[in-house]
């Protein structure tokens, strides 16, 4: 959308909103990009809907039918419920910003019915397959240090239940000299938590530091790309995708699936939900309770297979 299609007041508040998210809220680049896209899609719709430039006061006079028409248009363009929920979240964020600045805000965003999202259970990866992935990651690269890096990363994702962003943000100085010290991880909302560091995890991480052919000062990245920069999530995902294809594993085997597997396997072996919640860094227990359903589904699958063999 060109700047001419937004009035000057709306452009100014949009820019101030983006600046606040960037410098004060410190949203991730991914979330910031999503919010900006949500705003752009909505104002593009309003421009066509009203057949005139979009004004700041449109956010105060917006009717519920206008918002419903936007959601219907997005649905017609192929957006699923998850995308619509994210769009509403981004627009509500902007509305909250306007409210804090003292501008009038329509109550349409509070009245609209949220699209129903189909709940899907995470698919854990079998422990045997995780071991195969780690072994393949260690042996495949021609450069020994790259293989050690990849194997250590997969070991950390599964053994510690880290998000890929949490693992890749670690620096050399974050790894304690002794495994029993635990690993301090900065999660969502800049919340710190401590993850137990199993001896095999500590060994893999220290070997990575020793073999990486770049500086290993405390502030240097733990996981580096071949050119020395910090390894990116895209590079890590591509690495895992390559290895899962080699093992003929499903596309559901992703870095995040290793985190799911960590939680599911802990629960299967008697771990309690509160402890798993703390290890995962979930703010709410309800986010962790989904793993009780995963475990039940896994047990049911095992029962059915056993029943078929006995029949």
Residue range 81-115, pLDDT digits in tens: 778 888 888 898 899 999 999 998 888 888 887 66
Sign for the CA dihedral angle at 276, 86, 40, 57 comes to negative
Q: Give CA separation, 57 vs 8, 9, 61, in Å.
A: 12, 9, 6
Q: Flag the least confident range among 107-121, 146-160, 209-223.
A: 107-121
> What pTM was computed for the model?
0.56
**Is 289 inside any structural domain?**
no
- Given this model, what pLDDT does residue 191 score? 78
Using one digit for the tens of pLDDT, what is the confidence trace for 2-33? 444 888 999 999 999 999 988 876 677 778 88
**Is 7 inside any structural domain?**
yes
| 86 shares its domain with 173 | no
**Rounded percentage of the chain residues whose pLDDT exceeds 90:** 40
CB-based contacts of 79-83 (< 8 A; 24+ apart in sequence): 81/115, 81/116, 81/117, 81/118, 82/117
Q: How is residue 47 written in tokens? A: 């421009």
Question: Which member of 149, 224, 243, 291 is catalytic?
Answer: 291
**101 vs 263, which has greater pLDDT?**
101
Question: Which member of 14, 243, 259, 265 is catalytic?
Answer: 259
Domain total for the chain?
A: 2
| 142 shares its domain with 237 | yes
- Whether residue 124 contacts residue 259, with contact meaning beta carbons closer than 8 Å, is answered with no
| 204 shares its domain with 236 | yes
How many Å separate Cα 267 from the centre of its chain? Answer: 22
Q: Give CA separation, 288 vs 35, 46, 163, 278, in Å.
A: 26, 39, 14, 9
- Domain final residue, candidates 111, 138, 173: 111
- Given this model, what pLDDT does residue 268 score? 65
| 87 shares its domain with 183 | no
- Whether residue 134 contacts residue 239, with contact meaning beta carbons closer than 8 Å, is answered with no
Neighbours of 310 (CB within 10 A): 6
Please state, in angstroms and rounded to a whole number, the distance separating the CA atoms of residues 155 and 149: 10
Q: Is 49 among the catalytic positions? A: no
| 101 shares its domain with 156 | no
Helix (H, G, I), strand (E, B) or coil at 2: coil
| 249 shares its domain with 150 | yes
Helix (H) or strand (E) holding 275: helix 273-280
- Given this model, what pLDDT does residue 185 score? 83
Helix, strand, coil content of the chain in percent (nearest 5): 65, 5, 30
**Is 120 inside any structural domain?**
no
Q: Is 118 among the catalytic positions? A: no
| 60 shares its domain with 164 | no
| 253 shares its domain with 136 | yes
**Is 142 inside any structural domain?**
yes
Question: Which member of 26, 30, 188, 242 is catalytic?
Answer: 188
- Whether residue 12 contacts residue 101, with contact meaning beta carbons closer than 8 Å, is answered with no
| 218 shares its domain with 185 | yes
Q: What is the CATH number of the domain that holds 174?
A: 1.10.443.10
**Is 282 inside any structural domain?**
no
- Given this model, what pLDDT does residue 212 score? 95
| 250 shares its domain with 134 | yes
| 34 shares its domain with 132 | no
- Given this model, what pLDDT does residue 94 score? 92
Please state, in angstroms and rounded to a whole number, the distance separating the CA atoms of residues 53 and 4: 7
Q: What is the CATH number of the domain that holds 72?
A: 1.10.150
Query: Is 303 a residue whose pLDDT tops 50?
Result: no
- Whether residue 267 contacts residue 131, with contact meaning beta carbons closer than 8 Å, is answered with no
**Is 14 inside any structural domain?**
yes
Question: Which member of 163, 202, 243, 244 is catalytic?
Answer: 163
**Is 226 inside any structural domain?**
yes
Q: Is 11 among the catalytic positions? A: no
**Is 248 inside any structural domain?**
yes
Which of 66, 150, 139 lies closest to 109 in space, CA to CA?
A: 66
- Domain final residue, candidates 56, 76, 111: 111
Q: How is residue 162 written in tokens? A: 């880290």
Q: Is 284 among the catalytic positions? A: no
Please state, in angstroms and rounded to a whole number, the distance separating the CA atoms of residues 295 and 308: 20
- Whether residue 177 contacts residue 132, with contact meaning beta carbons closer than 8 Å, is answered with no
Q: Is 260 among the catalytic positions? A: no
pLDDT band at 80 (very low <50, low <70, confident <90, very high): confident
Helix (H) or strand (E) holding 185: strand 183-186
Domain interval for residue 204: 127-258
Q: How is residue 185 written in tokens? A: 């991880």
Three-state secondary structure string covering 121-172 = CCCCCCHHHHHHHHHHHHHCCCCHHHHHHHHHHHHHHHHHCCCHHHHHCCEH
- Whether residue 290 contacts residue 302, with contact meaning beta carbons closer than 8 Å, is answered with no
Q: How is residue 85 written in tokens? A: 């929920």
Q: Is 163 among the catalytic positions? A: yes
| 145 shares its domain with 206 | yes
- Domain final residue, candidates 258, 288, 303: 258
- Whether residue 13 contacts residue 56, with contact meaning beta carbons closer than 8 Å, is answered with yes
């Amino acid at each position: 959308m060109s700047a001419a299609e937004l009035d000057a007041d709306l452009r100014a508040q949009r820019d101030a909103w983006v600046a606040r998210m960037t410098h004060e809220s410190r949203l991730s680049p991914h979330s910031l990009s999503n919010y900006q896209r949500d705003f752009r899609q909505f104002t593009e719709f309003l421009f066509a809907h009203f057949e005139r430039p979009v004004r700041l006061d449109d956010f105060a006079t917006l009717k519920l039918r206008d918002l419903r028409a936007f959601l219907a248009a997005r649905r017609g363009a192929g957006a699923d419920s998850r995308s619509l929920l994210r769009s509403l979240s981004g627009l509500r964020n902007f509305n909250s910003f306007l409210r804090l600045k003292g501008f009038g805000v329509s109550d349409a965003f509070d009245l609209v019915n949220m699209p129903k999202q189909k709940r899907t259970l995470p698919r854990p990866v079998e422990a045997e397959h995780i071991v195969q992935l780690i072994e393949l990651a260690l042996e495949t690269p021609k450069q020994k240090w790259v293989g050690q890096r990849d194997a250590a990363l997969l070991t950390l994702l599964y053994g510690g239940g880290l998000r890929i962003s949490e693992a890749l943000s670690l620096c050399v100085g974050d790894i304690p000299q002794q495994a029993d010290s635990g690993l301090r991880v900065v999660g969502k909302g800049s919340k710190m938590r401590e993850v137990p560091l199993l001896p095999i995890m500590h060994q893999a991480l220290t070997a990575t530091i020793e073999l990486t052919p770049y500086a290993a000062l405390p502030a240097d990245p733990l996981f580096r790309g071949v050119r020395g920069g910090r390894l990116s999530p895209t590079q890590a995902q591509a690495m895992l995708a390559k290895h899962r294809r080699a093992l003929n594993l499903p596309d559901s085997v992703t870095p995040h699936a290793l985190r799911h597997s960590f939680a599911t396997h802990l629960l299967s072996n008697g771990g309690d939900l509160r402890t798993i919640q703390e290890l995962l860094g979930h703010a709410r227990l309800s986010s962790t309770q989904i793993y009780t359903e995963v475990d039940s589904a896994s047990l049911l699958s095992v029962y059915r297979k056993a029943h078929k063999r006995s029949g």
